[in-house]
Amino acid sequence: MAHPQNRNDTPELRLRCLTEFPPRQGTYPVRAGKVRYIGVSDTPAWKIAEANLITRFRGWSSFVGLQIEYSLLERTVEQELVPMATEFGLGITPWSPLKSGVLSGKYTRANDGQHNADRGALVESFLNEQTYALIDELEIVAKAHETNVASVALAWVHAQPAVSSIIIGARRLSQLDDNVRAVDVNLSAEELDQLDTLTKPNFGFPHNMLEMAPGIINGGTTINGVTAPTSEYVMPEGGQPY
């Protein structure tokens, strides 16, 4: 897994090191079969796309995995990284899927202020009304599935596009047991939508403009299952285009 790129290397250098440069034994890591697949972590989407384009021209191994922070409380990755991974076939392996334990079930509205956060400011800055509203809903869903808050939060992450596996960070056996129960939790479309609505991020340009595109381009019609009323940018209110 190639971790964040620094200012002193380039995509060419990094990929060539992984694919061609020999280690001490004198063999090439990927071409010798010592490394089966390569992934990239915490890197901008455009850098990953650039790197994989270079591999196509040079005949090198491409990144096939993407390791990023992703949870119900960290969804900014849905603006560029998740769509990029979905489009180009990279499997996503989220880290911190419980947001440093905020969604572990330890913190609730009822015990607000009674716990000393193990990770200090990383946790305390998220213990607010929006988070407690999410945890309230996680508790409801967990009760319906006879499981715990952590497993529901993990099940939501696992259900997201392109997610292939999840990195968990249990320190105690009880935490591991709670997390592993997520594999048996199958959330309904309604439950996924409800959790999604509580933390759905608002993206800026160009995404907020792209949401208007169907009404501008094909308003009043349905193309590939996508329909929208005609945008006022195209036809004034009350106008009849057809």
Same domain membership, residue 135 and residue 237: no
Same-domain status, 186 and 233: no
121 and 136 both lie in a single domain: yes
- Structurally, the chain folds into a number of domains equal to 2
Query: In terms of DSSP bridges, do strands 63-69 and 226-227 run parallel, antiparallel, or are they unpaired?
Result: unpaired
pLDDT tens track for 129-176: 999 999 999 999 999 999 999 999 999 999 999 999 999 887 788 888
Same domain? 69 vs 167: yes
Q: Does one domain contain both 199 and 223?
A: no
For residues 119 and 180, state if they share a domain: yes
221 and 125 assigned to the same domain: no
In a domain, 159, yes or no: yes
User: Pairing between strand 63-69 and 222-223?
Assistant: unpaired
Q: Per residue in 75-99, is it b (16+ CB within 10 Å) or e — as a string?
A: bebbebbbebbeebebebbbbbbbb
Statement to judge: residues 190 and 231 lie in one domain: no
198/130 Cα distance (integer angstroms): 8
Q: pLDDT confidence of 37, banded at 50, 70, 90?
A: confident
Residue 193 resides in a domain: yes
Residue with the larger pLDDT of the pair 227 and 85: 85
- Is the same domain home to 97 and 171? yes
Q: Mean pLDDT, the chain, as a whole number?
A: 85
Which residue, 74, 60, 68, is CA-closest to 86? 68
In this structure, is residue 69 part of a structural domain?
A: yes
Positive or negative torsion for Cα 192, 95, 39, 14: positive
pLDDT digits (tens, 9 = 90+) for 12-32: 777 777 766 555 555 566 767
Q: Are 98 and 72 in contact (CB under 8 A)?
A: no
Measured in whole angstroms, how far is the alpha carbon of residue 49 from the centre of its chain? 17
Q: Indicate if 176 and 236 belong to the same structural domain.
A: no
**229 and 179 share a domain?**
no
- Give percent of the chain with pLDDT exceeding 90: 45
Report the candidate in 87, 27, 100, 37 with the shortest Cα–Cα distance to residue 65: 37
Query: Can you tell me the mean pLDDT for 104-126?
Result: 76
Percentages helix, strand, coil for the chain, rounded to the nearest 5?
40, 10, 50
pTM of the model: 0.82
pLDDT above 80 (res 4): no
User: For the domain that residue 62 is a member of, what is the CATH number?
Assistant: 3.20.20.100
Q: N- to C-terminal Cα distance for the chain?
A: 55
Name the residue range of residue 64's domain: 11-205
Domain for residue 164, yes or no? yes
Q: What is the per-residue pLDDT for 156?
A: 97
Give yes or no: residues 199 and 172 share one domain: yes
Residue 187 · residue 141 · CB < 8 Å: yes
Q: Which residues does residue 41 pair with via DSSP β-bridges, in sequence order?
A: 67
Residue 4 covered by a domain: no
User: How does DSSP classify residue 113?
Assistant: T
Q: Summarize pLDDT for 62-109 with one digit per residue, the tens.
A: 899 999 999 999 999 999 999 999 999 999 999 999 999 999 988 988
Is 109 a domain residue?
yes
Q: What pLDDT does 21 receive?
A: 59
Tokens 């309604």 belong to residue: 190
Q: Give the pLDDT mean for 204-219.
A: 83
Q: How confident is the model at residue 119 (pLDDT cuts 50, 70, 90)?
A: low
239 lies in some domain = yes
